[in-house]
Amino acid sequence: MIREFGTSELWFVVSSARWTLALTLIALGLGGVLGFVIALARVSRLAPLRWLAAGWIGLVQGVPVLMLLFLSYYGLSLAGLDLPPLVAAGISLSFYASGFLGEIWRGCIQSVPWQQWEASAALALSRAQQYRYVVLPQAVRIAVPPTVGFIVQLVKNTSIVSIIGVVELARAGHLVNNATFQPMRVFCVVALVYFCICWPISLAARWLERRMHVGRAG
Amino acid sequence: MSVVRVEGVRKSYGALEVLKGVSMQVERGEVVAIIGRSGSGKSTLLRCLNGLEPIQAGRIEVAGHTLDSTGKGLRDLRKDVGIVFQSYNLFPHLKVGENIMLAPRVVLGCSRAEARARAEQTLAQVGLAEKIEAWPDNLSGGQAQRVAIARSLAMQPKVMLFDEVTSALDPELTGEVLATLEGLAQAGMTMLLVTHEMAFARRVAHRTVFMHQGLLHEEGPSEALFSAPQTAELRQFLSGGLK
């Protein structure tokens, strides 16, 4: 029996965006913390830390998100650890985010001119103080555009977790389309909801960038 | 008594030996100019004095702190030795006042009020009291360099090092920076300057050191050294177009 694409179907699609948002926030939170540690390790003076971080980044970037997802869902369940799909999805997306954010932020830290390190060292700041007061504040400004670019990618890439049965935005659209067979309407709505999430993020980034450059030329 | 004591310092970058056993001393309150061709090792020597470049051999003693090839005690030394660079290197994300207050606050543990007082005092000293709320990007090169000097002075160093501080400036801006340096010299600050401003070195520095191929080639009271150079290399350098 084919259903109409009515209010309840529309609501089902729109409300399942909460899982898209939840997964994005989880990946951003956990992946962000891990990514920050990895970025610092990547520019550490201790070679083993640098290698470890480089290895992690290489691994995460070299493997499709889908494989990270399968590994944490099916792989870990084979190992006896039966994770609910949502948890497996959260973990794999966090790993994915950590690898990319780590590399993005490594670049931002390194693009702060070395003279800033030298000038702050000459003023007797410790390494931790150099990071905290001189290098990271400058790196954060540089980091806004690429980080936001990545967050927008992340929002859209959460759709991949539909494969292990998490009903987020893309999966909800799929289910409703199966019942109504009105792909144009259904997927236009899905696309519109994605747009309504991503567009404000880009706008906020532009605003943030302007705000952080108040009083500064260039 | 000597504030700076350098003994047999050697420094290499890979196979290239830049300092080949340099020894010198600087007395308290003395102003010493270091001159020489590009690549003679003069900037490297200055940068070794506050540990920005590690040395391979020899010994450096500045304001009672000893540096050797192990690099220990670096931060303590840097509290007492200020350096100003050719490219100012102000912190662009901090206003002028905050640039100056940062190190006194986080390194010396000064209160905000005390750090602010130091910023006001050192800015007045370099003639830029009104710029305390300005952003570094809105300063001219000469002003930025004077702020960099004030930033160093706020740590109340015992020795100040100046690494070609006017070389990046337009000719009309070098004057204001040189005047600031001269004021410091008259106030009794112990200073080492690497410079290409020969007239300034001759007039302000008590003593001038000529470096050549990684060694101190000739040194003496500035007036005597410039008016009667003893070695052929220095004579050639002084007459050879480098202003």
The domain limits of chain B are: 2-239
Chain A residue with CA closest to B87: the answer is A115
Which residues of chain A lie closer than 8 angstroms to B138, CB-CB?
Answer: 215, 217
Q: How confident is the model at residue A214, as a pLDDT?
A: 54
Mean pLDDT of B73-102: 94
Structural domain contains residue A138: yes
Q: How confident is the model at residue B77, as a pLDDT?
A: 92
How many angstroms separate the CA atoms of B186 and B178, rounded? Answer: 12
Q: Using a CB–CB cutoff of 8 Å, tell me whether A123 touches chain B.
A: yes
Q: Is pLDDT at B127 greater than 60 in this prediction?
A: yes
B149-176 burial, b for 16+ CB within 10 Å, e for fewer? bbbbbbbebbbbbbbbbbeebeeebbeb
Residue A25 · residue A93 · CB < 8 Å: no
Mean pLDDT of B33-59: 92
Q: What is the CATH number of the domain that holds A167?
A: 1.10.3720.10
ipTM, two decimals? 0.91
Q: Is pLDDT at B195 greater than 70 in this prediction?
A: yes
Q: Is pLDDT at A217 greater than 60 in this prediction?
A: no
How many angstroms separate the CA atoms of B212 and B36, rounded? Answer: 6
Backbone angles phi, psi at A212, to 5 degrees: -75, -10
Contact residues, A window 127-146, toward B, CB-based 8 Å cutoff: 129, 133-134, 137-138, 141
Which residues of chain A lie closer than 8 angstroms to B139, CB-CB?
Answer: none
Residue B18 · residue B12 · CB < 8 Å: yes
Residue B80 · residue A113 · CB < 8 Å: no
Structural domain contains residue A144: yes
What percent of chain A has a predicted confidence (pLDDT) above 70?
97
Considering its fold, how many domains does chain A have in total? 1
Structural domain contains residue A87: yes
Tell which wins on pLDDT, B168 or A30. A30
pLDDT one-digit tens code per residue, A19-58: 999 999 999 999 999 999 999 999 999 999 999 999 999 9
CA distance A117 to chain B (A): 9
Q: How confident is the model at residue A1, as a pLDDT?
A: 65
- List the single residue in B79, B90, B95 with the smallest CB-CB distance to A124: B79
- Tokens linked to A146: 């690429």
Chain B residue with CA closest to A213: the answer is B93
Residue B190 · residue B30 · CB < 8 Å: yes
Interhelix angle A7-15/A169-180, nearest 10 degrees: 160
CA distance A28 to chain B (A): 26
Mean pLDDT of B210-219: 93
Structural domain contains residue A19: no
- Tokens linked to B236: 């050639």
Tell which wins on pLDDT, B1 or B129. B129
Q: Is pLDDT at B242 greater than 70 in this prediction?
A: no
- Tokens 């302007």 correspond to A210
Contact B103 A218 (CB under 8 A): no
Residues 6 or more apart whose CB falls under 8 angstroms from that of A215 comprise B95, B135, B138
CA distance B158 to chain A (A): 13
CATH of B2-239, one of 2.60.40.10, 1.10.357.10, 3.30.310.160, 3.40.50.300: 3.40.50.300
Q: Using a CB–CB cutoff of 8 Å, tell me whether B155 touches chain A.
A: yes
Q: Is pLDDT at A215 greater than 50 in this prediction?
A: no
Range of the domain at A189: 41-211
How many angstroms separate the CA atoms of B98 and A143, rounded? Answer: 23
Contact A115 B138 (CB under 8 A): no
Q: Is pLDDT at B189 greater than 80 in this prediction?
A: yes
Mean pLDDT of B60-89: 87
Chain A residue with CA closest to B79: the answer is A124
Mean pLDDT of B77-100: 95
Contact A129 B137 (CB under 8 A): no
Q: How confident is the model at residue A24, as a pLDDT?
A: 96
How many angstroms separate the CA atoms of B43 and B195, rounded? Answer: 9
Structural domain contains residue A10: no
pLDDT one-digit tens code per residue, B112-125: 999 999 999 999 99
Tell which wins on pLDDT, A87 or A215. A87
Structural domain contains residue A151: yes
Band the pLDDT of A210: cuts 50, 70, 90.
Answer: confident
Q: Using a CB–CB cutoff of 8 Å, tell me whether A59 touches chain B.
A: no
Q: How confident is the model at residue A152, as a pLDDT?
A: 94
How many angstroms separate the CA atoms of A211 and A191, rounded? Answer: 30
Contact A123 B52 (CB under 8 A): no
Tell which wins on pLDDT, A72 or B118. B118
Instruction: Give the mean pLDDT of chain A.
Output: 92
